[in-house]
Amino acid sequence: MDGIIPREASSFIPIPDFIFKVASRCNLNCAYCYMYNKGDRSYLRQPKVMPMAVVDAAIERIRAYSSASGTRQVGIILHGGEPLVAGQTFFRRFVEKANSELLPDIQPVFNMQTNGTLLDQSWLDLLRELDIKFGISLDGPESINDANRVDHRGRGSYARVKRAIDLVVADPRVDDLFRGVLSVINLDADPLEIYDLYRCLGIRSADFLLPDGNYYNPPAGLIAGSTDTPYADWLIRLFNKWFPDDNPTFRIRIFEDIIGLIFGAPIGMDDPSGGGMGAIVVESDGTIEPVDVLKICGDRFTKTKFNVADSDIADAYQSELIRISLGGGMCKKCQRCPVKAVCGGGYLPHRYSVVNGFDNPSIYCHNLMKLIIYIQQKVVDALPVTIRHKLNIGPLVSNGNRQA
Protein backbone atom coordinates (compact mmCIF):
# COMPACT_ATOMS: atom_id res chain seq x y z
CA MET A 1 0.00 0.00 0.00
CA ASP A 2 3.09 2.24 -0.06
CA GLY A 3 2.51 5.80 -1.26
CA ILE A 4 -1.29 5.55 -1.26
CA ILE A 5 -2.81 6.97 1.88
CA PRO A 6 -6.25 5.51 2.62
CA ARG A 7 -8.68 7.97 4.16
CA GLU A 8 -10.15 7.55 7.58
CA ALA A 9 -13.38 5.57 7.58
CA SER A 10 -15.36 8.57 8.79
CA SER A 11 -14.44 10.56 5.66
CA PHE A 12 -16.06 8.15 3.21
CA ILE A 13 -19.41 8.73 1.63
CA PRO A 14 -21.77 5.78 2.06
CA ILE A 15 -21.08 2.71 -0.06
CA PRO A 16 -23.58 2.90 -2.95
CA ASP A 17 -23.21 -0.53 -4.54
CA PHE A 18 -22.94 -4.12 -3.33
CA ILE A 19 -21.71 -6.90 -5.61
CA PHE A 20 -23.13 -10.29 -4.63
CA LYS A 21 -21.17 -13.30 -5.82
CA VAL A 22 -24.31 -15.42 -5.99
CA ALA A 23 -22.38 -18.17 -7.78
CA SER A 24 -18.67 -18.80 -7.30
CA ARG A 25 -18.42 -21.09 -10.32
CA CYS A 26 -18.90 -20.46 -14.02
CA ASN A 27 -19.98 -22.63 -16.93
CA LEU A 28 -17.38 -20.85 -19.08
CA ASN A 29 -13.61 -20.83 -18.70
CA CYS A 30 -12.54 -17.56 -20.30
CA ALA A 31 -8.78 -17.35 -20.74
CA TYR A 32 -8.47 -13.83 -19.33
CA CYS A 33 -10.89 -14.24 -16.41
CA TYR A 34 -9.73 -12.41 -13.28
CA MET A 35 -11.78 -14.73 -11.08
CA TYR A 36 -10.35 -18.07 -12.16
CA ASN A 37 -7.38 -17.68 -14.49
CA LYS A 38 -5.19 -14.96 -12.99
CA GLY A 39 -3.79 -16.86 -10.02
CA ASP A 40 -6.45 -16.61 -7.30
CA ARG A 41 -7.75 -20.01 -6.16
CA SER A 42 -9.83 -18.93 -3.18
CA TYR A 43 -13.08 -19.74 -5.00
CA LEU A 44 -12.34 -23.45 -4.50
CA ARG A 45 -13.02 -23.04 -0.78
CA GLN A 46 -16.32 -21.23 -1.21
CA PRO A 47 -19.91 -22.47 -1.76
CA LYS A 48 -20.72 -22.92 -5.43
CA VAL A 49 -24.00 -21.05 -4.89
CA MET A 50 -24.57 -18.48 -2.15
CA PRO A 51 -26.61 -20.05 0.67
CA MET A 52 -29.85 -18.27 1.52
CA ALA A 53 -28.56 -17.77 5.06
CA VAL A 54 -25.80 -15.59 3.59
CA VAL A 55 -28.34 -13.68 1.48
CA ASP A 56 -30.53 -13.03 4.51
CA ALA A 57 -27.62 -11.87 6.66
CA ALA A 58 -26.16 -9.65 3.93
CA ILE A 59 -29.45 -7.91 3.15
CA GLU A 60 -30.06 -7.28 6.83
CA ARG A 61 -26.56 -5.81 7.18
CA ILE A 62 -27.16 -3.57 4.15
CA ARG A 63 -30.45 -2.36 5.62
CA ALA A 64 -28.80 -1.47 8.92
CA TYR A 65 -25.84 0.21 7.21
CA SER A 66 -27.98 2.18 4.75
CA SER A 67 -30.41 3.28 7.45
CA ALA A 68 -27.57 4.52 9.65
CA SER A 69 -25.96 6.43 6.76
CA GLY A 70 -29.21 7.90 5.45
CA THR A 71 -28.94 6.13 2.10
CA ARG A 72 -32.24 5.98 0.21
CA GLN A 73 -31.11 3.82 -2.72
CA VAL A 74 -28.61 0.98 -3.06
CA GLY A 75 -27.31 -0.83 -6.09
CA ILE A 76 -27.32 -4.61 -5.86
CA ILE A 77 -25.28 -6.34 -8.57
CA LEU A 78 -25.83 -10.07 -9.03
CA HIS A 79 -22.54 -11.47 -10.23
CA GLY A 80 -20.37 -14.57 -10.32
CA GLY A 81 -18.93 -16.71 -11.78
CA GLU A 82 -22.02 -16.94 -13.87
CA PRO A 83 -24.98 -15.71 -11.79
CA LEU A 84 -27.62 -17.68 -13.72
CA VAL A 85 -26.00 -20.87 -12.40
CA ALA A 86 -27.74 -20.04 -9.10
CA GLY A 87 -31.12 -20.77 -10.71
CA GLN A 88 -34.46 -19.02 -10.98
CA THR A 89 -35.73 -20.08 -7.55
CA PHE A 90 -32.68 -18.45 -5.97
CA PHE A 91 -33.21 -15.22 -7.93
CA ARG A 92 -36.85 -15.01 -6.89
CA ARG A 93 -36.02 -15.65 -3.25
CA PHE A 94 -33.16 -13.15 -3.32
CA VAL A 95 -35.26 -10.30 -4.72
CA GLU A 96 -38.16 -11.08 -2.40
CA LYS A 97 -35.82 -10.87 0.58
CA ALA A 98 -34.23 -7.62 -0.57
CA ASN A 99 -37.56 -5.94 -1.30
CA SER A 100 -39.20 -7.04 1.92
CA GLU A 101 -36.20 -5.98 4.03
CA LEU A 102 -35.34 -2.69 2.31
CA LEU A 103 -38.57 -1.18 0.97
CA PRO A 104 -40.08 1.35 1.32
CA ASP A 105 -37.32 3.36 3.02
CA ILE A 106 -34.46 2.06 0.87
CA GLN A 107 -34.89 1.40 -2.85
CA PRO A 108 -32.87 -1.55 -4.17
CA VAL A 109 -31.81 -1.30 -7.82
CA PHE A 110 -30.95 -4.72 -9.23
CA ASN A 111 -28.37 -5.31 -11.95
CA MET A 112 -26.73 -8.44 -13.33
CA GLN A 113 -23.91 -9.31 -15.70
CA THR A 114 -24.26 -12.65 -17.49
CA ASN A 115 -22.28 -14.52 -20.12
CA GLY A 116 -25.61 -15.15 -21.83
CA THR A 117 -25.18 -18.86 -22.48
CA LEU A 118 -28.05 -19.84 -20.14
CA LEU A 119 -30.32 -16.93 -20.95
CA ASP A 120 -33.62 -18.09 -22.48
CA GLN A 121 -37.19 -16.84 -22.67
CA SER A 122 -38.06 -18.09 -19.18
CA TRP A 123 -35.14 -16.10 -17.77
CA LEU A 124 -36.20 -13.00 -19.65
CA ASP A 125 -39.71 -13.39 -18.22
CA LEU A 126 -38.26 -13.60 -14.72
CA LEU A 127 -35.91 -10.64 -15.15
CA ARG A 128 -38.86 -8.60 -16.35
CA GLU A 129 -40.98 -9.72 -13.40
CA LEU A 130 -38.23 -8.98 -10.86
CA ASP A 131 -37.08 -5.76 -12.58
CA ILE A 132 -33.43 -6.80 -12.90
CA LYS A 133 -31.35 -4.84 -15.39
CA PHE A 134 -28.69 -6.90 -17.14
CA GLY A 135 -25.77 -6.87 -19.51
CA ILE A 136 -24.38 -9.66 -21.69
CA SER A 137 -20.70 -10.41 -22.28
CA LEU A 138 -19.54 -10.87 -25.88
CA ASP A 139 -16.16 -10.10 -27.42
CA GLY A 140 -17.12 -9.69 -31.06
CA PRO A 141 -17.53 -12.06 -34.01
CA GLU A 142 -17.32 -15.82 -33.50
CA SER A 143 -13.62 -16.22 -34.27
CA ILE A 144 -12.66 -13.47 -31.81
CA ASN A 145 -15.17 -14.30 -29.07
CA ASP A 146 -14.34 -18.00 -29.15
CA ALA A 147 -10.60 -17.38 -28.94
CA ASN A 148 -11.06 -16.70 -25.21
CA ARG A 149 -14.69 -17.23 -24.19
CA VAL A 150 -14.90 -21.02 -24.15
CA ASP A 151 -16.48 -23.57 -21.84
CA HIS A 152 -14.62 -26.14 -19.76
CA ARG A 153 -14.46 -28.50 -22.75
CA GLY A 154 -12.93 -25.83 -24.95
CA ARG A 155 -16.09 -25.18 -26.96
CA GLY A 156 -16.82 -21.64 -28.08
CA SER A 157 -19.74 -19.68 -26.64
CA TYR A 158 -20.60 -17.35 -29.54
CA ALA A 159 -23.56 -19.27 -30.95
CA ARG A 160 -25.23 -19.57 -27.54
CA VAL A 161 -24.67 -15.91 -26.72
CA LYS A 162 -25.97 -14.76 -30.10
CA ARG A 163 -29.17 -16.76 -29.53
CA ALA A 164 -29.62 -14.93 -26.22
CA ILE A 165 -29.01 -11.52 -27.80
CA ASP A 166 -31.48 -12.29 -30.57
CA LEU A 167 -34.10 -13.13 -27.93
CA VAL A 168 -33.40 -9.92 -26.02
CA VAL A 169 -33.52 -7.68 -29.09
CA ALA A 170 -36.80 -9.29 -30.20
CA ASP A 171 -38.49 -8.77 -26.81
CA PRO A 172 -39.57 -5.12 -26.33
CA ARG A 173 -40.55 -5.88 -22.72
CA VAL A 174 -36.88 -5.90 -21.73
CA ASP A 175 -35.79 -2.84 -23.72
CA ASP A 176 -35.48 -0.82 -20.53
CA LEU A 177 -33.63 -3.64 -18.73
CA PHE A 178 -30.96 -4.58 -21.26
CA ARG A 179 -27.84 -2.50 -20.57
CA GLY A 180 -25.99 -3.72 -23.63
CA VAL A 181 -22.92 -5.78 -24.42
CA LEU A 182 -19.69 -5.84 -22.46
CA SER A 183 -16.57 -6.67 -24.50
CA VAL A 184 -12.97 -7.26 -23.49
CA ILE A 185 -10.60 -5.82 -26.08
CA ASN A 186 -8.69 -8.34 -28.17
CA LEU A 187 -5.90 -6.66 -30.13
CA ASP A 188 -6.22 -9.32 -32.84
CA ALA A 189 -9.78 -8.19 -33.55
CA ASP A 190 -10.79 -5.54 -36.06
CA PRO A 191 -12.69 -2.89 -34.05
CA LEU A 192 -14.58 -1.76 -37.15
CA GLU A 193 -15.81 -5.31 -37.77
CA ILE A 194 -17.04 -5.48 -34.17
CA TYR A 195 -18.80 -2.13 -34.55
CA ASP A 196 -20.62 -3.29 -37.67
CA LEU A 197 -21.52 -6.63 -36.08
CA TYR A 198 -23.07 -5.02 -33.01
CA ARG A 199 -25.07 -2.61 -35.14
CA CYS A 200 -26.24 -5.54 -37.28
CA LEU A 201 -27.30 -7.52 -34.19
CA GLY A 202 -29.46 -4.63 -33.04
CA ILE A 203 -27.35 -3.87 -29.98
CA ARG A 204 -27.84 -0.28 -28.85
CA SER A 205 -25.14 0.01 -26.20
CA ALA A 206 -21.69 -1.48 -25.75
CA ASP A 207 -18.68 -1.02 -23.55
CA PHE A 208 -15.11 -2.08 -24.21
CA LEU A 209 -12.86 -3.09 -21.33
CA LEU A 210 -9.10 -3.16 -21.15
CA PRO A 211 -7.99 -6.72 -20.27
CA ASP A 212 -7.28 -6.94 -16.56
CA GLY A 213 -3.60 -6.88 -15.79
CA ASN A 214 -0.91 -4.97 -13.90
CA TYR A 215 2.86 -4.86 -13.37
CA TYR A 216 2.68 -8.16 -11.49
CA ASN A 217 0.43 -9.83 -14.05
CA PRO A 218 0.69 -7.90 -17.36
CA PRO A 219 -2.14 -7.96 -19.92
CA ALA A 220 -1.69 -9.38 -23.41
CA GLY A 221 0.26 -7.10 -25.72
CA LEU A 222 1.86 -4.96 -23.01
CA ILE A 223 5.23 -5.14 -21.29
CA ALA A 224 5.59 -3.38 -17.95
CA GLY A 225 7.31 -0.02 -18.49
CA SER A 226 6.65 0.01 -22.24
CA THR A 227 5.50 3.22 -23.90
CA ASP A 228 3.70 1.32 -26.66
CA THR A 229 0.01 2.19 -27.04
CA PRO A 230 -1.70 -0.71 -28.84
CA TYR A 231 -4.91 -0.39 -26.80
CA ALA A 232 -5.21 3.33 -27.42
CA ASP A 233 -4.61 2.76 -31.13
CA TRP A 234 -7.34 0.09 -31.19
CA LEU A 235 -9.83 2.28 -29.38
CA ILE A 236 -9.01 5.32 -31.52
CA ARG A 237 -9.94 3.35 -34.63
CA LEU A 238 -13.24 2.47 -32.96
CA PHE A 239 -13.82 6.08 -31.86
CA ASN A 240 -13.24 7.35 -35.39
CA LYS A 241 -15.98 5.02 -36.58
CA TRP A 242 -18.41 5.89 -33.78
CA PHE A 243 -17.96 9.64 -33.25
CA PRO A 244 -18.97 10.88 -36.73
CA ASP A 245 -21.82 8.36 -36.99
CA ASP A 246 -24.98 10.47 -37.26
CA ASN A 247 -27.15 7.69 -35.78
CA PRO A 248 -27.30 8.34 -32.03
CA THR A 249 -28.97 5.03 -31.16
CA PHE A 250 -25.68 3.16 -30.66
CA ARG A 251 -23.85 4.13 -27.49
CA ILE A 252 -20.30 3.26 -26.42
CA ARG A 253 -19.86 3.90 -22.74
CA ILE A 254 -16.10 4.37 -22.57
CA PHE A 255 -16.25 7.18 -25.14
CA GLU A 256 -19.31 8.84 -23.63
CA ASP A 257 -17.72 8.76 -20.19
CA ILE A 258 -14.43 10.23 -21.39
CA ILE A 259 -16.25 13.04 -23.19
CA GLY A 260 -18.40 13.71 -20.14
CA LEU A 261 -15.37 13.81 -17.86
CA ILE A 262 -13.49 16.13 -20.22
CA PHE A 263 -16.30 18.63 -19.78
CA GLY A 264 -16.53 18.13 -16.03
CA ALA A 265 -19.55 15.85 -15.79
CA PRO A 266 -19.82 14.19 -12.34
CA ILE A 267 -19.59 10.66 -13.67
CA GLY A 268 -17.53 9.45 -10.74
CA MET A 269 -15.45 6.90 -12.65
CA ASP A 270 -12.10 5.67 -11.42
CA ASP A 271 -10.98 5.04 -14.95
CA PRO A 272 -12.44 5.16 -18.45
CA SER A 273 -11.88 1.45 -18.99
CA GLY A 274 -14.93 0.60 -16.97
CA GLY A 275 -15.99 -0.22 -13.45
CA GLY A 276 -15.83 2.31 -10.68
CA MET A 277 -14.47 1.33 -7.29
CA GLY A 278 -17.34 2.60 -5.15
CA ALA A 279 -18.55 -0.91 -4.32
CA ILE A 280 -17.79 -3.80 -2.04
CA VAL A 281 -18.22 -7.51 -2.67
CA VAL A 282 -20.15 -10.08 -0.68
CA GLU A 283 -18.63 -13.44 -1.59
CA SER A 284 -20.72 -16.63 -1.74
CA ASP A 285 -19.53 -17.55 1.77
CA GLY A 286 -20.50 -14.12 3.11
CA THR A 287 -17.00 -12.64 3.26
CA ILE A 288 -16.93 -8.86 2.74
CA GLU A 289 -14.21 -7.98 0.23
CA PRO A 290 -12.98 -5.12 -1.96
CA VAL A 291 -13.75 -5.05 -5.67
CA ASP A 292 -13.16 -8.47 -7.18
CA VAL A 293 -10.77 -7.52 -9.98
CA LEU A 294 -8.12 -7.07 -7.29
CA LYS A 295 -7.83 -10.87 -7.37
CA ILE A 296 -5.33 -10.40 -10.21
CA CYS A 297 -2.87 -9.10 -7.59
CA GLY A 298 -2.36 -12.55 -6.04
CA ASP A 299 -3.96 -15.59 -4.45
CA ARG A 300 -6.31 -14.62 -1.57
CA PHE A 301 -5.30 -10.98 -2.07
CA THR A 302 -8.86 -9.73 -1.52
CA LYS A 303 -9.62 -11.82 1.57
CA THR A 304 -10.63 -10.08 4.79
CA LYS A 305 -11.66 -11.26 8.26
CA PHE A 306 -15.13 -9.73 7.90
CA ASN A 307 -18.24 -11.75 7.14
CA VAL A 308 -21.89 -10.73 7.06
CA ALA A 309 -22.59 -13.51 9.56
CA ASP A 310 -20.85 -11.58 12.34
CA SER A 311 -19.72 -8.21 10.96
CA ASP A 312 -21.50 -4.99 10.06
CA ILE A 313 -20.87 -3.44 6.66
CA ALA A 314 -19.11 -0.51 8.34
CA ASP A 315 -16.61 -2.93 9.88
CA ALA A 316 -15.14 -3.40 6.42
CA TYR A 317 -13.57 0.07 6.66
CA GLN A 318 -11.07 -1.49 9.07
CA SER A 319 -9.52 -3.23 6.05
CA GLU A 320 -6.81 -1.02 4.54
CA LEU A 321 -7.37 -2.56 1.11
CA ILE A 322 -11.10 -1.84 1.24
CA ARG A 323 -10.44 1.75 2.32
CA ILE A 324 -8.03 2.21 -0.57
CA SER A 325 -10.41 0.61 -3.05
CA LEU A 326 -13.24 2.90 -1.92
CA GLY A 327 -11.29 6.11 -1.89
CA GLY A 328 -7.56 5.74 -2.40
CA GLY A 329 -5.55 8.55 -3.96
CA MET A 330 -3.13 8.69 -6.86
CA CYS A 331 0.61 8.26 -7.02
CA LYS A 332 2.71 11.44 -7.29
CA LYS A 333 3.21 11.06 -11.03
CA CYS A 334 -0.56 10.86 -11.60
CA GLN A 335 -1.18 13.88 -9.37
CA ARG A 336 0.86 15.99 -11.81
CA CYS A 337 -0.80 14.59 -14.93
CA PRO A 338 -2.93 16.86 -17.17
CA VAL A 339 -5.58 14.17 -17.69
CA LYS A 340 -5.90 13.00 -14.08
CA ALA A 341 -9.44 14.40 -13.83
CA VAL A 342 -10.48 12.08 -16.66
CA CYS A 343 -8.59 8.85 -16.00
CA GLY A 344 -8.64 9.18 -12.20
CA GLY A 345 -5.22 7.58 -12.01
CA GLY A 346 -6.42 4.46 -13.76
CA TYR A 347 -8.28 1.45 -12.43
CA LEU A 348 -6.79 0.46 -9.07
CA PRO A 349 -6.10 -3.22 -9.95
CA HIS A 350 -4.18 -2.06 -13.02
CA ARG A 351 -1.74 -0.04 -10.86
CA TYR A 352 -0.40 -2.88 -8.72
CA SER A 353 3.22 -4.01 -8.57
CA VAL A 354 4.93 -6.29 -6.08
CA VAL A 355 7.56 -3.63 -5.30
CA ASN A 356 5.39 -0.51 -4.92
CA GLY A 357 1.93 -1.88 -4.24
CA PHE A 358 -0.54 0.60 -5.78
CA ASP A 359 1.95 3.48 -5.82
CA ASN A 360 2.19 3.40 -9.61
CA PRO A 361 0.38 4.80 -12.62
CA SER A 362 -1.86 2.32 -14.41
CA ILE A 363 0.02 -0.15 -16.56
CA TYR A 364 -2.18 1.37 -19.28
CA CYS A 365 -0.96 4.90 -18.49
CA HIS A 366 0.44 5.73 -21.93
CA ASN A 367 -2.60 4.20 -23.61
CA LEU A 368 -5.01 6.20 -21.45
CA MET A 369 -3.08 9.42 -22.00
CA LYS A 370 -3.04 9.02 -25.78
CA LEU A 371 -6.72 8.05 -25.97
CA ILE A 372 -7.97 10.86 -23.74
CA ILE A 373 -5.94 13.57 -25.50
CA TYR A 374 -7.05 12.28 -28.89
CA ILE A 375 -10.72 12.27 -27.94
CA GLN A 376 -10.47 15.70 -26.32
CA GLN A 377 -8.94 17.16 -29.46
CA LYS A 378 -11.56 15.59 -31.73
CA VAL A 379 -14.41 16.83 -29.56
CA VAL A 380 -12.98 20.34 -29.32
CA ASP A 381 -12.43 20.43 -33.07
CA ALA A 382 -16.10 19.53 -33.57
CA LEU A 383 -17.28 22.56 -31.57
CA PRO A 384 -18.06 25.78 -33.42
CA VAL A 385 -15.17 28.25 -33.30
CA THR A 386 -17.30 30.82 -31.49
CA ILE A 387 -18.02 28.34 -28.70
CA ARG A 388 -14.34 27.42 -28.39
CA HIS A 389 -13.37 31.08 -28.11
CA LYS A 390 -16.15 31.86 -25.66
CA LEU A 391 -15.16 29.00 -23.38
CA ASN A 392 -11.43 29.52 -23.98
CA ILE A 393 -10.81 25.85 -24.62
CA GLY A 394 -8.35 24.15 -26.88
CA PRO A 395 -6.87 20.71 -27.36
CA LEU A 396 -4.50 19.29 -24.77
CA VAL A 397 -0.98 18.24 -25.60
CA SER A 398 0.96 15.64 -23.71
CA ASN A 399 2.91 18.09 -21.56
CA GLY A 400 -0.34 19.42 -20.12
CA ASN A 401 -0.40 22.74 -22.00
CA ARG A 402 -3.13 23.73 -24.40
CA GLN A 403 -2.51 24.51 -28.02
CA ALA A 404 -3.41 27.99 -29.16
DSSP string, 237-289: HHHHHHTT-S-TT-EEHHHHHHHHHHTT-----S-TTS--S-EEEE-TT-BEE
Domains of the chain (ranges, CATH numbers): 9-184+278-327 (3.20.20.70), 332-391 (no CATH)
Mean pLDDT of the chain: 91
Question: Edge-to-edge strand order for the sheet containing 107-114?
Answer: 251-252, 205-209, 178-184, 132-137, 107-114, 73-79, 17-21, 279-282, 288-289
Question: Side chain identity at 293, as an amino acid letter?
Answer: V
Entry pTM: 0.92
**pLDDT tens per residue, range 356-390:** 999 999 999 999 999 999 999 999 988 888 887 77
Q: Running DSSP on this structure, what letter comes out for residue 390?
A: H
Provide mean pLDDT across the span 176-189. 98
The answer on pLDDT for 401 being more than 70 is no
Distance of alpha carbon 94 from alpha carbon 58, whole angstroms = 11
The answer on pLDDT for 283 being more than 90 is yes
Residue from 231, 232, 233, 237 nearest 219 by CA: 231
- Whole-number pLDDT of residue 278: 81
Provide mean pLDDT across the span 23-42. 96
Provide mean pLDDT across the span 192-196. 98
- Whole-number pLDDT of residue 274: 39
The answer on pLDDT for 397 being more than 70 is no
Band (pLDDT 50/70/90 cuts) for residue 276 is: very low
Band (pLDDT 50/70/90 cuts) for residue 355 is: very high
Q: Are 208 and 162 in contact (CB under 8 A)?
A: no
- Whole-number pLDDT of residue 404: 33
21 forms beta bridges with 79
Band (pLDDT 50/70/90 cuts) for residue 229 is: very high
For 244, how many CA atoms within 13 A lie in the half-sphere containing its CB? 6
The answer on pLDDT for 273 being more than 50 is no
Provide mean pLDDT across the span 73-86. 97
Q: Say which residue, 331 or 264, is predicted with more confidence.
A: 331
Distance of alpha carbon 292 from alpha carbon 275, whole angstroms = 11
The answer on pLDDT for 271 being more than 70 is no
**pLDDT tens per residue, range 126-180:** 999 999 999 999 999 999 999 999 999 999 999 999 999 999 999 999 999 999 9
Q: Are 86 and 22 in contact (CB under 8 A)?
A: yes
The answer on pLDDT for 247 being more than 50 is yes
Could you give the C-alpha distances from 92 to 54, 57, 123, 329, in angstroms and in order? 15, 17, 11, 39
- Whole-number pLDDT of residue 337: 92
Provide mean pLDDT across the span 319-323. 93
Provide mean pLDDT across the span 347-352. 95
Q: Are 198 and 206 in contact (CB under 8 A)?
A: yes
Secondary structure in 3-state letters for 34-51: CCCCCCCCHHHHCCCECC
Provide mean pLDDT across the span 213-225. 91
